Amino acid sequence: MNRWIAGILCGALWPAALAAPAGPEELAAAIRERLGRPGVVRGEFEQRKHIQALTRPLVSRGDFVVARERGVLWRTRAPFGQTVRLTREGIVLEQEGETTARLSAEREPAVRAAIGLLFALWAGDFDRLREYFQVTGRAGQEVWSATLTPAGALAAQLFRSVRMEGDRHIRAVDLVERNGDRTEIRFSRLRSDEALT
């Protein structure tokens, strides 16, 4: 189940010098200051999924919306249309307007726990991410990078490691899944709003 969740979300988030490495609390505070706490972040993505059995990565493109209080909408536009909706209630996968899979947070405690982790990841909530990962990295005046290593069973069931880079937005996320597959996500055309329109 957890591998399926990781597969959906991983297969379906620098110009200035970085400062010296910071401790976990200082790093989380520095990244939080740079990211701020916008209610909504939206943009476009390009995702490259490296599967060990394939010689070339699977490339997909689309757009997304992260609403801090509502959830994540992840829409793949190419090579085919697919939508993942992640809310506190569960995960829904849609294709061509039809629901193809649904996981309920209420009925499945593992899904509820995974949603908490994934919410923190996509929202860049480093205070919450420290509940699941050991966080190391660097933060300069404008840019930052962080490496997340699983510190508990839940994160370890999904990932071997997560690397994130950004400035006032998350610009890149590299995920290494438990099975060794790797997903690289690059974000563009990012913008922040206080609320959904």
Which of 90, 164, 85, 86 is closest to 129 using CA atoms? 164
CB of 59 within 8 A of CB of 46? yes
State the pTM of this model.
0.81
Which of 56, 53, 122, 54 is closest to 85 using CA atoms? 122
Would you give per-residue pLDDT tens digits along the chain (197 residues)? 555 455 544 444 333 334 444 577 888 888 888 888 888 999 999 999 999 889 999 999 999 999 888 889 999 999 989 999 998 889 999 998 889 988 888 888 778 888 888 888 878 888 888 888 999 999 888 899 999 999 988 888 889 999 999 999 999 999 999 999 999 999 999 998 877 77
Which of 7, 8, 12, 14 is closest to 171 using CA atoms? 14
Which of 163, 171, 118, 130 is closest to 4 using CA atoms? 118
CB of 78 within 8 A of CB of 62? yes
